[in-house]
Amino acid sequence: MDYKISDQELTKFANDMVRKDIKFPIIKDKEKFPAIIFALDNQLEELYKQKKVFLPNFTNTKSIAVFTDYSGEHSDSKFITYSFLISEYDSLGMYDKAIRKIRTQYKLDNPYKEIAFKDLHYGPLKRALREILRGADFLINGLLFTFIVDKNAITIFAGNTKKSLIENHKIFERYKLNFWKPEVIEKLLRIIHIISYLCALLTFKDQKLFWMTDNDSIFQNENQTKYIGKVFEALIDHYTGKHFLSKIGYATQFNKIGFMDFNIFLSLSDLIAGSISDYYKNTINEKKPKVSNDSVVKIIEWLCHDGLLLKKLNFKIDVADKNNLTTSFVKFEYIKEQPKAKKIYII
């Protein structure tokens, strides 16, 4: 027997899944955190108080998962995009189950086809895309946060100069972590600072945290992964307070699919990072946006609204002049006709 949910029940459920008691500012001591993170916190506080953004409620879970992927490092891109999916661990299984059905329905298993931005031209994936995105809206209790950084920003942590970039590298030298190039250290710090801020924003004491990232230049071997873990744990403690989280784990993309296909959540971050990078590569005037194909249109338009469970935020850094950076939250506009949708009011 099918169960039909009333509008009243749906509204109550949506409101219960929104966090309404966040005490801003998250960053209380400006001197101990990067100015960019302080700006992010300030601007998010204003939007939150005005009820222009909504954040997920992780009150009733013991574990949180973060999945990260990146795009825009190719020569013709204008921005580097870092996409973070932070989610209640308990809701991942429902989405994994839905994706398995979608994969079977659209014949993405024979042969096995990864869900990836680079393969959006592939017919079965193009046809499955709307259901992949819609499933995330309704089944993942979390936040999809994309950090969009102008490629002219040499470093976002101080001064935006090569000298500042080298200074960051020297700090890592003190801890014998200088096997990375300065540019790779910059990337690592961008990623870990954002995850740490999101944890301070959304998690509760004694919850567990699992972070999975794509294989790339910051995770080249087991030894580097171990040291990244130390940096990661130190920054998490810096943002949340020492031993705030009961356990912290991290991994790169799994080669084998176990009881759950965790790689699908990386795929979601990959689709968003790639699509936003494509949007800014092709768009000169944001009032007349351009993208490379219809699949990117679907993804950008999907980012225009929150889902029943999944919330979406995009934070952008532009280079105003040689040494100054500007920050803003980005709200994408519909490229084609806005679809009809049921509105749910958060009170």
- Whether residue 342 is contained in a domain is answered as no
Q: 312 forms bridges with which residues in the sheet? A: 144
Distances (CA, A) of 65 to 27, 43, 83, 84: 22, 25, 14, 10
Q: What pLDDT does residue 2 have?
A: 44
Helix axes 294-302, 263-282, angle to 10 degrees: 110
Domain with 41, as residue range(s), is: 7-17+30-329
- Whether residue 287 is contained in a domain is answered as yes
- Whether the bond between 111 and the residue before it is cis, its omega within 30 degrees of 0, is yes
Q: What pLDDT does residue 76 have?
A: 85
Chain-centre distance for alpha carbon 241: 22
- Whether residue 153 is contained in a domain is answered as yes
CATH number at residue 131: 3.30.420.10
- Whether residue 322 is contained in a domain is answered as yes
Distance CA(222)–CA(24), nearest Å, equals 38
pLDDT over 80 (residue 288) = no
- Whether residue 67 is contained in a domain is answered as yes
pLDDT over 50 (residue 91) = yes
pLDDT over 70 (residue 313) = yes
Evaluate if pTM is beyond 0.85.
yes
- Whether residue 22 is contained in a domain is answered as no
- Collapsing DSSP states into helix, strand and coil, what is residue 149? strand
- Collapsing DSSP states into helix, strand and coil, what is residue 168? helix
Here the tokens at position 282 are: 């092709």
pLDDT over 50 (residue 149) = yes
pLDDT over 50 (residue 249) = yes
Over range 282-302, report the average pLDDT. Answer: 77
In this predicted model, what pLDDT tens digit does every residue of 22-55 receive, in sequence order?
Answer: 999 999 988 899 999 999 999 999 999 999 999 9
Q: How many domains does the chain have?
A: 1
In this predicted model, what pLDDT tens digit does every residue of 212-242 receive, in sequence order?
Answer: 988 666 776 777 777 888 888 989 999 998 7
- Whether residue 35 is contained in a domain is answered as yes
- Whether residue 341 is contained in a domain is answered as no
The CA R_g of the chain, rounded to the nearest whole Å, is: 20
